[in-house]
Amino acid sequence: MNARSLTAGFATLIRRRETGVVVAIVVLIGFTTVVNPGFTTGSDGFRNLLLTPSLLMILAVAQATVIITKNIDLSVSAVLGLSAYATGRMFTDFPDAPIWLVVVLGIAMGAALGTINGALVSLARVPSLVITLGTLYAYRGISIAWAGGDRINAANLPREFTALGTATIGGIPVLFLVAVVVLAVVAYLLAHTRSGREMYAVGSDDSAAVLYGLPVRRRVFLGFVASGSLAGLAGVLFAARYATVSSTAGADLELSSVAAAVIGGVAIVGGAGTVIGAALGAFLLATINRALPTLGIGEFWQQAVVGGLIIGAIVLDRLIWARQARRLKSSHASIAAASSGTDRGVFAEPTRPPKEPVP
């Protein structure tokens, strides 16, 4: 590694979306802390700084995994809710259940729900938007039907479990550590294993993936199983964190995971972005939510800020793409210049036959 490649590497790092989000986070935290030092300092401030985004980070990682394969999973929040309630019931009905078992079961439940999504999308080849819209409804319905008006309270849950929700290790909340571990594992798998890279390939150009002989359906399926499992895990943690679980757990999180991913640089058309970016996006979103009241902006404006950020993020991506295409068109012929970029839509058929001229 010579100096030039170092600086080149540095330059690419700067230009990455993840860096921008980190900068935004730092600026936000810095600014808010100036206004109110309690935001970051003191035992509560720091703990909440890291605790608040933890669940959304896990959901964002789940969502990003699916979006990378050029799909979307609208049902993650419902899976979370179902898993959270199931956790509560498990403890209520079997108070002596070991915590690790409940965690495993929660993840397994999520995996099962994700499998349904994955099977329907990869086998029936129907757009994931529609399928997961349907399963969102179905899973939420199941959770409401099961729970009725019931509420799980902290009293029903073992104290060691609820303690997990706010416990810290060396000042860092356990839940945050879990989120970081999840993030690290998934990021590793996506970046350093063949299956992970194939998922990017499938999202980047699925017809090329078919030509390469990649197992497209299997990879798409894998994405949904992964997102389901992670949402299941998030559900268990939700129960630990909030200790009150009703049938509406997670109801407002539907599109936050998508928003977090998009803000974090995961392209909605697939093939690009990282789960780290998605997690950072989640961190930013959750922190904004926490910061707004401190900054004197009614917390009620949070969603408007989120909306603006999403739009800003995708417009920015588009402008960058357009500028790149223009630059390439003038310098030499290339695929970027030639393609209109509009055929990579969310509703595009999963596999297109390769384009060939009539003989």
Partner 1 sequence: MTTTAEPVSTTPVARPFGERLRSILLGRDAVIIVLVVLVWIVGASTVDNFSKPNTVYYLLLDVLPILLIALPMTMVVVSGEIDLSVASMLGLSSVLVGVLFQHGWPIWLAALMALGAGVLGGALNGFLVTTVGLPSLAVTVGTMALFRGIAVGLLGTEAVTGFPSEYKDLASDRLFGPGTAIPGFLLVFIVLATVFGVLLHFTAFGRAVYAAGLNAETSRFSGINVPAIKFWLFIGTGVVSALAGVYWTLRYDSARGDNAAGFELAVVAAVLVGGVSIFGGRGAIPGVIAGALLIGEARSLLRLADVSADAINIAIGVLLIASVIFPRVLSGLKGHLTRRRTSGSFTPLER
Partner 2 sequence: MMTKVDHEPDHPAPHDDPLLQLNDVSKAFGPVIALRSAELTVHSGSIHALVGENGAGKSTLVKIIAGLYSRDSGSFQFDGRPVDFGSTAQSKSAGIAVIYQEPTLFPDLSVMENIFMGRQPVNRWRRLDRIAMRQQTTELFERLGVNIDPDLPALGLSIADQQIIEIAKAISLDAKLLIMDEPTAALSGVEVERLFAIARSLRDEGRGLVFISHRFDEIFDLCDHITVMRDGAFIDTHLTTETSAPEIVTQMVGRAVETRFPRSRNIPGDVVLEVSHLRRAGAFDDISFTVRSGEIVGMAGLVGAGRSEIARAVFGVDSYDSGTVTVAGSRLPPGNPRAAIRAGLALIPEDRRRQGLLVDLSVGRNIALVLRRKLTTWGLISRRGEDALAEQWSRTLRIKARDLDSPAGTLSGGNQQKAVIAKWMATGPRLLIIDEPTRGIDVGTKTEVHRLLDELAGEGLAILMISSELPEVLGMSDRVYVLREGEITTELTRDEANAEVVMTAATRSEVST
Q: For 298-336, give one letter per residue: b (16+ CB within 10 A) or e.
A: eeeebeeebeebbeebeeebeeeeeeebeeeeeeeeeee
Cβ neighbors of 49 (< 8 A, separation 6 or more) are 29, 39, 40, 287, 290
Strand partners, 321: none
Binding piece for partner 2, criterion CB under 8 A, among 105-113, 166-174, 212-220, 302-310: 212-220
Tokens 């529609």 belong to which residue? 130
Tokens 């403890």 belong to which residue? 91
Scanning residues 185 to 204, which ones bind partner 2 (CB under 8 A)?
Answer: 191-194, 197-198, 200-201, 203-204
Q: Does 356 bind partner 2 (CB under 8 A)?
A: yes
Q: Tell me which of partner 2, partner 1, none is bound by residue 100, counting a contact when its beta carbon lies within the kind-specific cut-off of 5 to 8 angstroms.
A: none
Q: Does 209 bind partner 2 (CB under 8 A)?
A: yes
Strand partners, 172: 169
Number of alpha carbons in the 13 Å side-chain half-sphere of residue 277: 24
Can you tell me the distance from the alpha carbon of 219 to that of 352, in angstroms, rounded to the nearest whole number? 17
Binding piece for partner 1, criterion CB under 8 A, among 12-20, 55-63, 128-136, 167-175: 128-136
Residue among 71 and 156 whose Cβ is closer to partner 1? 71
In 94-127, alpha helices (H): 99-124
**Contact pattern for partner 2 over residues 265 through 284, marking x by CB under 8 A:** --x---xx------------
Residues in the site for partner 2, rule: CB under 8 A? 191-194, 197-198, 200-201, 203-205, 207-209, 211-214, 267, 271-272, 324, 328-336, 354-359
Residues in the site for partner 1, rule: CB under 8 A? 72, 120, 124-127, 129-131, 133-142, 144-145, 148, 247, 251-252, 254-255, 258-259, 262, 268-269, 298, 300-308, 310-311, 314-315, 318, 341-342, 345-347, 349, 353-354, 356, 358-359
